[in-house]
Amino acid sequence: MSVLAEFSMSPMDKGESVSKYVARNLEIIADSGVPYRLGPMGTCLEGEWDEVFGVIKKCYERMSEDCRRISVAIKLDIRQGASDRLTAKIAKVEKLVGRELNK
């Protein structure tokens, strides 16, 4: 199974700018060894269920140390017999459209 997850996690009680907290999570993600890709609205991870949710839980535990209210959105696309979808999904769409897309 390829579990492709996109997630975003933000404190609600730290005011308008939350990039410090997002950066902290990205360190956890980059150090995890799980393939990932940072986007403007969230980070995509690919792996087995427990790998992916292991990383998300670590981010949550770190954020809960100093944040009182946390908002999280997780979207999953899980598919049997698939792999390398962090890059393969975009490549397939681009091929079908037949021109270069912004990515």
Question: How many CA atoms lie within 13 Å of 57's alpha carbon, on the beta-carbon side?
Answer: 6
Binds a second copy (CB under 8 A): choice among 47, 53, 55, 59: 53
Amino acid identity at 82: A
65 binds a second copy (CB under 8 A): no
What would the two tokens of residue 39 be? 């986007």
Collapsed DSSP state (helix, strand, coil) of residue 3 = strand
User: Which residue, chain included where needed, has tokens 């770190």?
Assistant: 62
* Contact pattern from residue 15 through residue 34 relative to a second copy, giving x for each residue in contact according to CB under 8 A and a dash for the rest: xx-xxx-xx--xx--x----
Q: What angle do CA 31, 89, 59 make, to 5 degrees?
A: 25
44 binds a second copy (CB under 8 A): yes
Interface with a second copy (CB under 8 A): 1, 4, 6, 8, 10, 12-13, 15-16, 18-20, 22-23, 26-27, 30, 35-42, 44, 49, 53, 57, 60, 64, 68-81, 85-87, 89-90, 92-94, 96-97, 99, 101-103
